[in-house]
Structure 1
């Protein structure tokens, strides 16, 4: 199934030392994990509906019936819960999805590694929708996209027992050191939106660390 979906997705062509190579727009492991999550967490009590994958020019949406059992904004740090644990256990043993509780972390980590826009997790009526976005430069991102990226970066660092810094955010977006003011503006946007908070207000600006607002 993953191979079939990958065949429908756009690719970027990268020219190496001598050969031209097609590179998938979305990380295959992230796609696999989100599809596995949609299968595992679907609510079988909702009739006439099932997991759905939709591919658009600028994004890929994966939807499953049933609202999530945890807050969509807390998927990275909340203890894992599953509607269909027997199915989840089987898929883990088959190597289709990650170990219990590590799936969303892996998706966010992969989008950061490839410097993609942050994924979105949301409730739509009685369903859960996960969205992967195609590559887009920081200058083309909307404020909502930038704040979500900063928030998820702070969440990922938090579950790794680290704090977000100006340096880590520059690395996430591929911002050069000389443009550290750009990262500072992104942090200010997320602070103003209430998505993150300052860890210690008494330290100098260059040493400041940031946490998710709920931490």
Structure 2
């Protein structure tokens, strides 16, 4: 699922992330890029986000690790290739189960280039990279099998939250919600008249339980 993020949204997100006193289980700051490690971090951050109840986790390139100063990066995921493939395509092949993640390239307020990788939290099973499950322990990336207590806790989270009750996306406006939902097909299949206008569609979507996901609207 592809979501657009405005420049203002990304700047606001960056400000919130660099305010953190240190890296957390759901945020990793980088200056340089390594494709293999990025894949491992996607697994670790997705699993850690699920464990602590976050909907998303983030990797940020262009931030100095200790000071959280925005120093910029030369990493450009849109033009980066690895093993003769586009980076994002290669990562998608290695991630199991498939989760949503997306790179955002933009200029920070000091005009330094920054990249944010937004990663969906694991939902019903731990996320693997190249057949291995990872987890964050503090600010460190570890193999999940080395921490059986965290693995058990993660499975308890999955058991406690039914798939149908999990959030698909958050912080989307009403127009984006309607882009993501095939609402004409729903009303057609249920033999109901299609409401007129956005204000007619959205309340009915919520009342009728049109989707199996929750979407938070801003």
The alignment's TM-score, normalised by the length of structure 1, stands at 0.27
Of structures 1 and 2, the one scoring higher in RCO (CA 8 A, sep 6+) is 2
The alignment's TM-score, normalised by the length of structure 2, stands at 0.27
